[in-house]
Amino acid sequence: MTTSSSSATSRPLTRSEYVSTLPPWRRLLAMVNWRPVYDIEMRTRQLRIESLESEKRILESDKRLKHLESEIEQLDTENRRLAALESKLDALLLNADSSSQPPPATGSN
């Protein structure tokens, strides 16, 4: 009988729950002589579960980081394009303004 990871993460097994998972011959031995390493085994199992969850969170974080970095790169590319278009537009507006200026006054009205 195996326990699901969700029940293992919510609370550790009690002694009676652990004994119920053992084969009959081992239950008898457990009743006669309880192994003091049970707590160590349960803590080790809990640490493994926590370690796997931590690795999963790290992988998800790395995935989000790569996605954000690609978005930043895309935004930088778009900003460069917009800056180039803005400079071209400014140059066109300056040319249009200089060509539509009235000729300077000659002094005779």
Q: What is the pLDDT of residues 10-46, one digit of tens each?
A: 677 777 788 788 888 888 877 776 666 777 888 899 9
Question: Higher model confidence: residue 79 or residue 5?
Answer: 79
Contact 1, 21 (CB under 8 A): yes
59 occurs within a structural domain:
yes
For residue 31, the model assigns a pLDDT of: 73
Residue range of the domain that includes 38 = 5-93
Cβ within 8 Å of residue 18, ≥6 positions away: 38, 42
pTM exceeding the 0.85 threshold for the entire prediction: no
For residue 8, the model assigns a pLDDT of: 45
Q: Position of tokens 């293992």?
A: 8
Distance CA(21)–CA(38), nearest Å, equals 13
98 occurs within a structural domain:
no
pLDDT bracket for residue 55 (50, 70, 90): very high
> What would the two tokens of residue 7 be?
């029940």
102 occurs within a structural domain:
no
62 occurs within a structural domain:
yes
Give the chain's domain count: 1
Distance CA(106)–CA(109), nearest Å, equals 8
Distance CA(109)–CA(107), nearest Å, equals 6
Distance CA(60)–CA(54), nearest Å, equals 10
For residue 36, the model assigns a pLDDT of: 64
Statement: residue 72 has pLDDT above 70: yes
99 occurs within a structural domain:
no
Q: What is the pLDDT of residues 85-108, one digit of tens each?
A: 999 998 888 887 777 666 566 765
Statement: residue 58 has pLDDT above 70: yes
End-to-end C-alpha distance for the chain, whole angstroms: 108
